[in-house]
Amino acid sequence: MDDYKFLFKVVLVGNAGVGKTCLVRRFTQGLFPPGQGATIGVDFMIKTVEVGNEKVKVRGGS
Q: For 15-53, what is each residue's pLDDT tens digit?
A: 888 888 888 888 888 888 777 777 776 777 888 888 998
Which pLDDT score is estimated for 62?
62
Res 38: pLDDT: 77
Mean pLDDT in residue range 7-19: 85
Q: What is the pLDDT of residue 10?
A: 84
3-state class (DSSP) for residue 43: coil
Closest alpha carbon to 47 in 38, 55, 59: 59
Residue 15's alpha-carbon distances to 4, 8, 18, 35, 62, in angstroms, are: 33, 23, 6, 18, 11
Cut 0.85: pTM above it: no
The dihedrals phi and psi of 58, each to the nearest 5 degrees, come to: -115, 125
Residue 1 has what pLDDT? 45
